[in-house]
């Protein structure tokens, strides 16, 4: 619809006279409810250690993870995504630990849910923390095998659901896994387990620091995930991926990375109008945080990045800066 806008009837600066006015007419508002904090929990480890390529982010032993989650809750955030850092002696070519019902991550989830029954806990489904080659699936004839991988991911999902994860988040990008995992959850009476699908996950170099954090980068070496993660040149394919995952039973879809893929977030929210999350990944975080720590960028760029992701259409955002931004927003 064409509306005639003419100066001086229209002076857009009238509504920018002070911050109260600016806030009153703001179209996008970010709150602690929109933020999810990822957290790295390390096997066979006590205490807390820094991650070189992720300023201000740490690997925690389970005891310290509990303290960290207390602090996350204090910041006003109620959702976390847990990522295991598995001892390299426990990794193998099949990622066997992923399907051991008594494994490190399920014990950790158990412990966390006992302490914090209300926290919304998201658990990743993929084999890369557990494989000695760093891929998300099993390799057969030099290829990450789709269907054999799904069989393992189903067992991994059931274990995570039984440990108490509220959301199961397949990040592996195998075709058809959402449908088969959904069926297994239903068959085993996990009717309320939420499937958060990493539906449009791009083959991005922005994951580098995460792979350092979980110790999969040296295992992966020069090998690429391009045979399962999406080509960064494609947008319509993302809609195709999302349509498939919704049909197969995803409750929420996720786009990843976030800031270089705002057009994808926007297109998916516009087209499907279902809960849509975005993951501001490790490389996005580290880039901004390093520049902030060096004094090259004002610290408000972090909030700006999150608001841009929300404005694009994300309902919630996984971000390593979640706790810090939430504290800032609540003046803690």
**Contact positions vs ligand PBG (CB under 6 A):** 124, 126, 128, 136, 171-172, 207, 210-211, 281-282
* Contact (Cβ atoms closer than 8 angstroms) between residue 66 and residue 92: no
Minimum distance, C-beta of residue 214 to ligand PBG, in the bound complex (Å): 8
Q: Is 201 a catalytic residue?
A: yes
Peptide bond into 281 cis (omega under 30): no
- Cα–Cα nearest to 254, from 151, 178, 330, 188: 178
Give 220's contacts (C-beta < 8 A, 6+ positions apart).
128, 133, 134, 135, 211
Question: Between residues 87 and 188, which has the closer beta carbon with respect to ligand PBG?
Answer: 87
Minimum distance, C-beta of residue 91 to ligand PBG, in the bound complex (Å): 14
* Contact (Cβ atoms closer than 8 angstroms) between residue 65 and residue 116: no
Catalytic residue among 94, 225, 256, 323: 256
Question: Between residues 52 and 270, which has the closer beta carbon with respect to ligand PBG?
Answer: 52
Q: Is 205 a catalytic residue?
A: no
Minimum distance, C-beta of residue 225 to ligand PBG, in the bound complex (Å): 6
* Separation of alpha carbons 262 and 85, rounded Å: 29
Minimum distance, C-beta of residue 136 to ligand PBG, in the bound complex (Å): 5
Question: Between residues 93 and 115, which has the closer beta carbon with respect to ligand PBG?
Answer: 93
Give 194's contacts (C-beta < 8 A, 6+ positions apart).
166, 167, 168, 251, 252
Give 126's contacts (C-beta < 8 A, 6+ positions apart).
136, 137, 153, 170, 171, 172
Question: Between residues 124 and 251, which has the closer beta carbon with respect to ligand PBG?
Answer: 124
Catalytic residue among 42, 91, 94, 201: 201
Residues involved in catalysis: 201, 256
């Amino acid at each position: 619809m064409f509306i005639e806008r003419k100066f001086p009837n229209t002076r857009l600066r009238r509504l920018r006279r002070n911050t109260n006015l600016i806030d009153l007419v703001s179209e996008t508002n970010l709150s602690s409810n929109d933020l999810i904090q990822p957290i790295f929990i390390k096997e066979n480890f006590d205490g807390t250690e820094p991650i070189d390529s992720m300023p201000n982010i740490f690997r925690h032993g389970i005891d310290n993870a509990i303290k960290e989650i207390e602090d996350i809750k204090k910041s006003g955030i109620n959702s976390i995504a847990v990522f295991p850092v598995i001892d390299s002696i426990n990794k193998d070519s099949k990622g066997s630990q992923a399907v051991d019902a008594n494994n490190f991550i399920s014990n950790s989830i158990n412990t966390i849910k006992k302490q914090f029954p209300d926290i919304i806990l998201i658990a990743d489904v993929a084999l890369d923390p557990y494989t000695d080659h760093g891929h998300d699936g099993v390799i057969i004839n030099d290829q990450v095998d789709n269907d054999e991988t799904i069989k393992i991911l189903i067992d991994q999902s059931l274990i995570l659901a039984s440990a108490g994860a509220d959301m199961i988040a397949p990040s592996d990008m195998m075709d058809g896994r959402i449908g088969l995992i959904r069926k297994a959850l239903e068959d085993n009476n996990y009717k309320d387990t939420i499937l958060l699908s990493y539906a449009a996950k791009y083959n991005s170099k922005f994951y580098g620091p995460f792979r350092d954090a979980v110790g999969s980068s040296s295992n992966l070496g020069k090998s690429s995930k391009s045979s399962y993660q999406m080509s960064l040149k494609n947008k319509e394919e993302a809609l195709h991926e999302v349509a498939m995952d919704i049909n197969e039973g995803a409750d929420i879809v996720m786009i990843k990375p976030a800031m270089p893929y705002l057009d994808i977030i926007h297109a998916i929210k516009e087209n499907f109008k279902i809960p849509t999350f975005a993951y501001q990944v490790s490389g996005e975080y580290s880039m901004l945080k390093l520049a902030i720590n060096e004094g090259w960028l004002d610290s408000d760029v972090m909030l700006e990045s999150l608001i841009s992701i929300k404005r694009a259409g994300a309902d919630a955002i996984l971000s390593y800066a979640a706790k810090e931004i939430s504290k800032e927003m609540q003046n803690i």
